[in-house]
């Protein structure tokens, strides 16, 4: 019979105390002698729960079994890394006990002592701090009271291979933003490149602004963005975005992902419900079947799952579908315009100088007739990495124009348009020169006339020439 705690004994004798059953019935059902049960009833009646506690041996802890030095040695050996078997510990202790003329403890004694060592202590000693943290450290889970109070964001390398534009098999990265309160997905971004500040910005852009899909209602500015300590999340760019949108940025402790369990759970759900059934699914780092999907096709499959299955299925934690949980009487706060959002999210901090052949960026050349009037000027460009055919150009923080790369864009800027723009700029410059010259000429004539008038007025009256009807030369 296993050793019972005082609470276990109390639960057994409680029906007897309340006169619901007899001690004999309890003895038969539990397989415990009637005498023992009656003893527990007597002890509880006299001493309460204390009377049900197992009495300690009077010689407990006595050196009769093991000296204090031996117990310390057993504990020290049990905490060694790599861990020793109990047989090895018993052998070492027996050899040591014989050397100091002490009767060696039995194998059962050593076994019992090692078994009673705190499991958390053994885990920390044998497996390290990370394993101990996962098993035994108390964690704090943040719980929200409203949608958009906290958004969690994280990246994961997806367990699937796709085919890129060059026909190579590659694993994509997924950046996801999830609403902590409802578990609804606010935005995603798939890329073949490793996580970066721009990937995070693009996921935020989709998350914050209204979606084209009418069923994807999640939008707005969150109060808190909760992330890990990745270099992209800790970048100056994302920090400035959060300042501009008045979002408080909160980072989990280094090496402690427990607080991001909700988004990790979503990644697991996506893996089990979507990726496992697609061609190219990765098992132990290798595709289980031939990859055939493009990045766009994979994104379509992920969005289909999010909008048509994940969002409309009751969540195990909340009991409601995420989309219903988020949209229940909630009015999100939005930026003034998508242009303002782009200004914050898609900013290239290095200015670009407008060259005579346009703006050069990432080995490509961008041009538009509007740039004809800004050759030599410093501008700021903003772009969507998913579509490098076009960039937005800002001059002194004001939107100037859109410029295209003719090598990858469908649009083409013709020589006729460039000539017309050059002529228009040159004409405007000539006009400015002419106006400036006329103004200088006008001012110079005005100053000359004023100078002559002053000289005449300054002369004393007796020096003025006599009035005459005859017009002399100096009167002209």
Q: Where are the alpha helices (DSSP H) in 235-392?
A: 236-245, 261-273, 295-305, 322-327, 338-345
CA atoms within 13 A on the CB side of 381: 25
- Rounded to 5 degrees, φ, ψ at 156 are -150, 140
pTM equals 0.53
Q: Which residues touch 202 (CB under 8 Å, ≥6 apart)?
A: 175, 189, 345, 346, 384, 385, 386
Distance CA 109, CA 112 (A): 5
The domain ranges of the chain are 6-52, 68-136, 150-327, 348-413
CA-closest candidate to residue 322, choices 452, 179, 445, 471: 179
Written as six digits, the tokens of 278 are: 């697609």
Least confident of 188-197, 206-215, 238-247, 353-362: 238-247
Protein fold of 68-136: Arc Repressor Mutant, subunit A (1.10.10)
Written as six digits, the tokens of 189 are: 């971004």
Does domain 348-413 bear CATH number 2.60.40? Answer: no
Strand-pairing partners, residue 141, are: none
E-assigned strand segments in 216-311: 224-227, 248-251, 282-283, 286-287
* Homologous superfamily in CATH for domain 150-327: Ribonuclease H-like superfamily/Ribonuclease H (3.30.420.10)
Laid out side by side, the sheet with 150-157 consists of 185-191, 173-179, 150-157, 224-227, 248-251
Strand-pairing partners, residue 196, are: none
- Rounded to 5 degrees, φ, ψ at 324 are -70, -40
| pLDDT tens digits along 245-284 | 888 888 765 555 445 578 888 999 999 999 999 999 999 8
Written as six digits, the tokens of 351 are: 């200015």
Least confident of 86-100, 137-151, 365-379: 137-151
- pLDDT average, residue stretch 75-104: 86
């Amino acid at each position: 019979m296993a050793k019972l705690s005082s609470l276990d004994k109390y639960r057994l004798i409680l029906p007897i105390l309340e006169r619901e059953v007899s001690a004999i019935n309890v003895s038969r059902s539990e397989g415990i002698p009637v005498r023992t049960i009656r003893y527990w009833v007597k002890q509880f009646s006299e001493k309460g729960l204390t009377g049900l506690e197992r009495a300690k041996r009077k010689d407990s802890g006595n050196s009769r079994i093991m000296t204090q030095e031996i117990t310390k040695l057993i504990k020290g050996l049990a905490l060694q890394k790599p861990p020793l078997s109990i047989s090895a510990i018993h052998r070492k202790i027996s050899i040591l006990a014989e050397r100091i003329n002490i009767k060696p403890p039995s194998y059962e004694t050593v076994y019992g002592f090692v078994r009673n060592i705190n499991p958390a202590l053994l885990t920390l000693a044998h497996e390290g701090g990370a394993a101990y943290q996962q098993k035994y450290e108390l964690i704090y889970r943040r719980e929200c009271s409203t949608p958009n109070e906290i958004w969690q964001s994280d990246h994961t390398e997806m367990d699937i291979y796709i085919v890129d534009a060059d026909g190579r098999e590659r694993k994509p990265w997924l950046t996801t933003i999830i609403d902590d309160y409802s578990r609804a997905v606010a935005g995603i971004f798939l890329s073949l490149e490793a996580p970066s500040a721009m990937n995070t910005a693009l996921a935020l852009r989709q998350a914050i602004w209204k979606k084209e899909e009418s069923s994807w209602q999640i939008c707005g500015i969150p109060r808190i963005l909760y992330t890990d300590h990745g270099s992209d999340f800790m970048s100056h760019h994302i920090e400035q975005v959060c300042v501009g949108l008045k979002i408080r940025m909160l980072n989990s402790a280094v090496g402690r992902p427990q607080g991001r369990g909700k988004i990790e759970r979503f990644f697991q759900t996506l893996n089990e419900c979507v990726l496992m059934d697609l061609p190219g699914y990765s098992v132990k780092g290798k595709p289980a079947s031939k990859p055939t999907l493009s990045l766009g096709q994979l994104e379509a499959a992920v969005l289909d799952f999010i909008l048509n299955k994940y969002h409309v299925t009751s969540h195990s934690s909340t009991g409601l579908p995420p989309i219903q949980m988020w949209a229940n009487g909630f009015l999100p706060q939005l930026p003034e315009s998508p242009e303002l959002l782009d200004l914050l999210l898609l900013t290239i901090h290095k200015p670009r100088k407008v060259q005579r052949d346009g703006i050069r960026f990432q080995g490509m050349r961008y041009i538009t007739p509007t740039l004809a009037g800004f050759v030599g000027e410093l501008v700021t460009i903003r772009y969507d990495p998913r579509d490098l055919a076009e960039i937005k150009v800002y001059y002194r923080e004001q939107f100037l124009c859109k410029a295209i790369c003719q090598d990858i864009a469908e649009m083409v800027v013709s020589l006729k348009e460039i000539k017309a723009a050059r002529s228009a700029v040159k004409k405007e410059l000539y006009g400015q020169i002419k106006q400036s010259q006329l103004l200088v000429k006008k001012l110079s004539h005005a100053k000359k006339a004023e100078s002559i008038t002053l000289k005449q007025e300054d002369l004393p009256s007796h020096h003025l020439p006599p009035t005459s009807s005859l017009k002399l030369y100096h009167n002209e």
